[in-house]
Amino acid sequence: MDKLFSDSSSTGLVPGPLPSSMQLNADGKLRHFLTIEGLPPLLLEEILDRAEQFLNLPGTVQNKLPILRGKTVMNLFFENSTRTRTTFEIAAKRLSADIINLDIRNSATAKGESLLDTIRNLEAMNCNMFVVRHSSSAAAHFIARYCAPHISVLNAGDGRHAHPTQAMLDMLTIRQHKPDFTPLKVAIVGDIKHSRVARSQIHALTTLCTGEIRVIAPQTLMPQGIEEMGVNVYNHIEKGLADVDVVIMLRLQHERMNTALLPSVREYYARYGLTEERLRLARPDAIVMHPGPANRGVEIDSRVADGPQSVILQQVTNGIAVRMAVMSMVMGAALAPGKANSQREGG
Ligand code: NCD
């Protein structure tokens, strides 16, 4: 884990460095999905191809595939979420897994039990997968490190560290419009400093050999040393948007700001909001993305969010397919319906 997005709120959860190799089993297959960092390009492409196959399978949207029949998935969301939790839930149901949403607010950890004790108890209930969202960076790594060998952990967002399934659904959306990443100029605009989405996107775009990655933000929302990730830094949106193929807008992460980093939301919109006029600086066929939830009139003008270049709703649909892909891969399940198996090994 690099220091750029290291998070003091992770309160010592992380016992030493976090090798990305802990995500793979001895055969190089995906065992947990915690971060994009360090994963080989072929594996990212496998996720995208599998997601695309799910999208193309006739009837997948209405019918269930028996791929994860008999498996139990637990949604462990220690941080508020509706969209992401729901898409994991739908993905699990489409694969015929049983899914349980744990009500964390009333759970044992809220009553003082340690995270590890909670995990041990859930393991004993014979579940196969934990989907974890937590406000502490590296919480999912921590659980993956200490959970039983039959369990896979999917990171659904940890602090400001990583949000790998979001990044992969973004890559799928980009690929559907612009199949070759190598000539692309991609701009990520907004609260880069607090965004786990930005960090995972940068790792994914880099792994997929994107031509140029730009980050655009006011100085106060730009993490120090971000250039080390191989991105070009812009403080002026007008300059940064020139000729880009993809514009990714980010939400202001007020919940992660300890101090006033912006004069006002109004001024932020005046200087960084994506308006129709600013979008005209990008290539005419540029696509506009946002991981959601989008604040209209803060990061993005409604006319752009609902306009012809917006692919925001397509991102949501792709989110289900990508989560189905990752869930089936960590369980070692074959794609063909009826051939669900447990060829999962080791780890
Ligand atoms: C993102 C997140 O939680 O990091 N949203 C999401 O997954 N739907 C981005 C955000 O909250 O701004």
- Tens of pLDDT, residue by residue over 213-262, are 999 999 999 999 999 999 999 999 999 999 999 999 999 987 766 666 77
Residue 9: the pLDDT is 40
Residue 96 maps to which CATH number? Answer: 3.40.50.1370
Please tell me whether residues 25 and 128 are part of one structural domain: yes
Choose one of 36, 166, 249 to mutate for the ligand 1 pocket test, by most ligand atoms within 8 angstroms of C-beta: 166
Domain that holds residue 25: 3-162+318-337
| CA neighbor of 144 nearest in space, from 167, 122, 118, 119 | 119
Residue 333: the pLDDT is 86
Q: Global pTM?
A: 0.90
Judge if the beta carbon of residue 155 lies within 6 A of ligand 1.
no
Ligand 1 atom at shortest distance from the alpha carbon of 79 = 3
Is residue 82 a contact partner of residue 89, using CB atoms and an 8 Å limit?
no
Please tell me whether residues 136 and 275 are part of one structural domain: no
Judge if the beta carbon of residue 197 lies within 6 A of ligand 1.
yes
Please check whether residue 156 lies inside any domain of the structure: yes
Please tell me whether residues 19 and 125 are part of one structural domain: yes
C-alpha–C-alpha distance, residues 111 and 108, integer Å: 5
Please tell me whether residues 175 and 284 are part of one structural domain: yes
CA 82 to ligand 1 center in whole angstroms:
10
Please tell me whether residues 141 and 262 are part of one structural domain: no
CA 83 to ligand 1 center in whole angstroms:
9
Please tell me whether residues 114 and 85 are part of one structural domain: yes
> Considering only 94-103, 202-211, 311-320, which range has the smallest mean pLDDT?
94-103
Ligand 1 atom at shortest distance from the alpha carbon of 163 = 4
Q: What is the mean pLDDT of residues 76-88?
A: 91
Please check whether residue 344 lies inside any domain of the structure: no
Residue range 124-155, pLDDT digits in tens: 998 999 999 998 998 999 999 999 999 999 99
